[in-house]
Amino acid sequence: MNLKEQAIAVCGAGRSGQAAARLACAQGAHVTLLDSGEPSVPGLPDVDRVFGPEALTWREDVAHLVVSPGIDLANPLVAPWVEAGTSVLGEIELASRFWGKRVIGITGTNGKTTTTELITHLLNENGCSAVAGGNYGKPFAEIVLDDASYDVAVLELSSFQLETIDQFRPNVSVWMNFAPDHMDRYESVDDYRDAKLAMYRNQTAEDWAIVNLSNGPGIELIPQTLTFSAFDEGADFAYRDGQIFLRGESMASMSDTYLAGKHNAENLMAAMAVGSIQGLSTAGMRRAALSYRPPRHRCERVAQTDRGLLILNDSKATNVHALESALRALDGPILLIAGGKQKGLSYDSLKPWLAEKVCHLVALGEIGQNLTELADGLCPSTVADSLMAAVKTAFREAPDNAIILFSPGTSSFDMFSGYEQRGDVFTDLVEQHLANI
């Protein structure tokens, strides 16, 4: 892709947009950065900027429009360009045109970040220089611009990023799972699935696809495949009695790692599947798995009390499937704190888990009342008007030896800036409560 002297517009002045602008400039393009807000963007001396309302009407001729993943193609900032037939690329697609090394792409509704970290950790611990990026870590364009010498880029890929690929082709693709999400952006579940399926668009029989046998993409794949599942022993990577097996060979014991729950077993299986394709030894992968510590806010252990209460912070659970996965992976009784922003999702799939494992539901946020109505007849429930009130109720209602699980099942923007702040506040409130007992 030759960008020299080409006019390029980049929509969105966040981190990925800035990285895309820098990459296009480095390739000799004339770049204009567009954003309907008034962001603070230090640096980028060679980039023209059109911010605020003017960005919505700016229509100079450009060879390509690079769209940041947070911007819907139906957004007024982008839609006129799409309708006019302008070449529209995402930051992932742009960066891939200037990356000549291996790419591992990870998508799915849940588990992407932990699996991306695990893959990167296993590779680096076994002498293969890997860097994490995409929807997690560095923007892909930033990796391309980095002077460091990497053997492989490990990219977490959201549906938003996959919407705007064209020629992007991962050497290894990983499908973690699928469940409805982002229904505030997509018109249907099929549209959301189709966006994720774009990961396979350019893969060939020389490539590899690692797929969840129990919750896979649901299409016939061209690349070679390896399967994994913690719930179906027919998978290549299977889970039994706390052990991960590859076609009968023991690969790792979950009790020896810092990971908990069957959902994390699947994350480790997927990572080991990538490692096996990359030629890593079983001993090397096992050793690396034992030293890996998972990222925060993902069934993170906060405390264990004298009453035997185990408190877990699963603030990263921003959709129904993530909440369901946590309930499925843990043994009850569970006092569940859930709720947050109204995203237009159905929570009916939680009913069996509320009846089977949840001893009390504490609901909060915009969907709090809806959740208590859902729980009616299945488990006791309480509506809390704040996270502080929810924590106090949880400690009051939880029986001895229960798990207090904070797994909201939706995003946090009705109360917090993001799941990280939400999880931090929860952790602080738990520690304050325990200090005052």
Domain-ending residue, one of 242, 270, 291: 291
Choose the weakest-confidence range: 119-133, 190-204, 316-330: 316-330
Domain co-membership, 58 together with 106: no
Looking at residues 183-198, what average pLDDT do you find? 86
Which tops the pLDDT comparison, 330 or 284? 284
Domain co-membership, 157 together with 221: yes
Domain co-membership, 369 together with 319: yes
Does residue 311 register a pLDDT over 70? yes
Structure tokens at 169: 């082709």
> Which CATH number goes with the domain that contains 429?
3.90.190.20
> Which CATH number goes with the domain that contains 82?
3.40.50.720
Does residue 170 register a pLDDT over 90? yes
Distance (Å, rounded) from C-alpha 288 to C-alpha 291? 5
pLDDT band at 352 (very low <50, low <70, confident <90, very high): very high
User: Residue 138 has what DSSP assignment?
Assistant: B
pLDDT band at 148 (very low <50, low <70, confident <90, very high): confident
Which tops the pLDDT comparison, 172 or 345? 172
Domain co-membership, 106 together with 244: yes
Domain co-membership, 167 together with 86: no
Question: Among 305, 338, 310, which residue's Cα sits nearest to residue 322?
Answer: 338
Do the domain assignments include residue 49?
Answer: yes
Do the domain assignments include residue 108?
Answer: yes
Which tops the pLDDT comparison, 303 or 22? 22
Domain co-membership, 69 together with 217: no
Looking at residues 335-352, what average pLDDT do you find? 93
Domain co-membership, 140 together with 257: yes
Q: How far is CA 434 from the centre of its chain?
A: 31
Question: Among 265, 288, 247, which residue's Cα sits nearest to residue 177?
Answer: 265
| CB contact set of 235 (below 8 Å; sequence gap of 6+) | 213, 214, 227, 228, 229, 269
Consecutive H or E run containing 19? helix 15-26
Phi, psi of 225 (to 5 degrees): -125, 150
Which stretches within 307-377 are classed as H helix? 320-329, 351-356, 368-375
Consecutive H or E run containing 335? strand 334-338
Domain-ending residue, one of 291, 309, 344: 291
**Which of helix, strand or coil describes residue 416?**
coil
Do the domain assignments include residue 257?
Answer: yes
Looking at residues 401-415, what average pLDDT do you find? 90
Domain co-membership, 247 together with 343: no
Choose the weakest-confidence range: 72-81, 121-130, 168-177, 271-280: 72-81
Distance (Å, rounded) from C-alpha 67 to C-alpha 338? 33
Distances (CA, A) of 22 to 8, 30, 157, 336: 11, 11, 21, 45
Would you report the helix, strand and coil content of the chain in percent, each value rounded to 5?
Answer: 35, 20, 45
Distance (Å, rounded) from C-alpha 7 to C-alpha 62? 5
Mean pLDDT, rounded, of the chain: 94
Which stretches within 185-329 are classed as H helix? 189-197, 262-277, 282-291, 320-329
Looking at residues 11-27, what average pLDDT do you find? 96
> What is residue 224's predicted lDDT score, i.e. its pLDDT?
98
Distance (Å, rounded) from C-alpha 300 to C-alpha 312? 5
Distance (Å, rounded) from C-alpha 217 to C-alpha 135? 20
> What is residue 293's predicted lDDT score, i.e. its pLDDT?
87
pLDDT band at 43 (very low <50, low <70, confident <90, very high): confident
> What is residue 263's predicted lDDT score, i.e. its pLDDT?
86
**Which of helix, strand or coil describes residue 223?**
coil
Domain co-membership, 18 together with 115: no
Domain-ending residue, one of 91, 114, 148: 91
User: Residue 324 has what DSSP assignment?
Assistant: H
Consecutive H or E run containing 429? helix 419-435
For strands 300-304 and 310-313, give the pairing.
antiparallel
Do the domain assignments include residue 31?
Answer: yes
> What is residue 164's predicted lDDT score, i.e. its pLDDT?
93
Domain co-membership, 255 together with 384: no
For 50, the domain range is 7-91
Q: What is the pLDDT of residues 368-398, one digit of tens each?
A: 999 999 999 999 999 999 999 999 999 999 9
> What is residue 183's predicted lDDT score, i.e. its pLDDT?
63
Domain co-membership, 314 together with 281: no
Looking at residues 103-109, what average pLDDT do you find? 95
Do the domain assignments include residue 2?
Answer: no
Overall number of domains in the chain: 3
Q: How many CB atoms lie within 10 A of CB 391?
A: 23
Consecutive H or E run containing 15? helix 15-26
Do the domain assignments include residue 1?
Answer: no
Best-predicted range by mean pLDDT (65-69, 178-182, 290-294): 65-69
pLDDT band at 185 (very low <50, low <70, confident <90, very high): confident
Do the domain assignments include residue 381?
Answer: yes
> Which CATH number goes with the domain that contains 107?
3.40.1190.10
Domain co-membership, 430 together with 382: yes
Do the domain assignments include residue 39?
Answer: yes
